[in-house]
Amino acid sequence: MHPLLQRTAVFAVVGLLVAPAARAQHTAMPAGMTHEEHMAQMKHDAEMKERGALAMGFDQDATVHHFVLYADGGAIDVAVTSPTDHENLQAVRQHLQQIAVLFKDGDFGKPALTHAQQVPGTAEMTRLKERITYEYANTPAGGQVRIATTDHDALAAVHAFLRYQIDDHHTGDPVAISQGGGDHKPGEAMKGRESDTSAMAEMSVIHELFMSHARLTRTVTNLPNGIRTVTSSDDPRVAELLKGHVARMNMLVDIGRDPNLPMESPALRILFRKFETIRTSSDVTATGVVVTQTSSDPETVAALQQHASEVTTFVDQGMAAMHDAMMKSMQK
């Protein structure tokens, strides 16, 4: 397949994931929570954002945090939600580079300030600081700090720290150990992690698009030999996010990097595996993207239509459906 056509095909496949859904934050009262509990949670979250902006130096609402647990540690990832937000992008990278140094020295003052308490795991991480490595790397939309250790007690502390962050920031990240990690030498923790970094950065943008679901429209038409999708927004900022998603996916394909999104389904894996059987046309409009995908291969056509149906479930059920898809993907 021609490289340009391949880039378009990848966006069209992954772009199907950009469906209206809700971001992993308390925008509505969760089931089982009283009104008083919900109001207290909203107050807690608002105050944490204010403290976080002071501790980290950037707008919490213009960025997205993600935390991943690995068998040898984990990762902290922060990304801006707008590809043109250079001010917050620079602030995010400065903050993550700084905490990589501070954490190495056993200084967890910034997380304590953000959460208004000593964060679980940090006392042990300070005591065992000589057994933990922290390495920073840029991502397309921000940065990541990779945390690694071969010490059992330090690993337990790192996982406790990351699970607390997932819960208190409401990121929606899995609290189970993800694929990745393993033995490494100091100075090499980030090697081989490029697809993890790329996936986390792209998921940050997808989450922001989910949060903007009320300002997104999307239709899917099943064709005899494929599908046609239309994703758009009358909100210029949301449309810009959508187009930025296209640009980043093209960049990842340009360097030959599968983003390995954590919500990949069997249908999506078929589409990635059978790129050469897919014929794609993609048009960027003033408000979004129109994609038509066809194939002469019956399995590919079925996968295209199945994945479109999966996205419809995301539209109907929001973040709950996304979490379910992520957990199913982890079990494969």
The tens digit of pLDDT for each residue in 199-226 reads: 665 666 777 777 677 787 888 899 999 9
The reported pLDDT for the residue numbered 209 is 72
What distance separates the 2 farthest-apart alpha carbons in the chain? 63
Contact between 33 and 41 (Cβ < 8 Å): yes
The reported pLDDT for the residue numbered 2 is 38
The residue length of the chain stands at 332
The tens digit of pLDDT for each residue in 237-288 reads: 778 777 766 656 545 433 435 566 666 678 877 877 777 787 777 678 888 8
Residues 17 and 204: their CA atoms lie apart, in Å, by: 13
Tell me the three-class secondary structure of 41-94, residue by residue: HHHHHHHHHHHHHHHHCCCHHHEEEEEEEECCEEEEEEEECCCCCHHHHHHHHH
286 burial level (CB within 10 Å; 0-12, 13-18, 19+):
exposed
Instruction: Give the list of residues 6+ apart from residue 36 with CB closer than 8 angstroms, or none.
Output: none
Question: H-helix or E-strand containing 280?
Answer: strand 278-284
In a 3-state reduction of DSSP, which class is residue 98?
A: helix
How many angstroms separate the Cα of 195 from the Cα of each of 246, 251, 255, 256, 260?
A: 17, 13, 11, 10, 6
Given the DSSP bridges, would you call strands 142-149 and 217-223 parallel, antiparallel or unpaired?
Answer: unpaired
| Residue whose pair of structure tokens reads 């149906």 in the numeric block | 309
pTM of the model: 0.53
The tens digit of pLDDT for each residue in 52-74 reads: 888 899 999 888 898 989 889 99
**Which contacts (CB < 8 Å, 24+ apart) does range 251-254 have?**
251/140, 252/10, 252/140, 252/198, 252/202, 253/6, 253/7, 253/10, 253/11, 254/3, 254/7
| Residue whose pair of structure tokens reads 């953000």 in the numeric block | 114
Nearest to 202 by CA among 148, 244, 231, 145: 244
CB burial string 81-110: b at 16+ within 10 A, e below: bbbebeebbebbbebbebbbeebeeebbeb
For residue 38, what pLDDT band results from cuts at 50, 70 and 90?
low
Higher pLDDT, 277 or 135: 135
In the chain, count of helices (H) and strands (E)?
11, 8
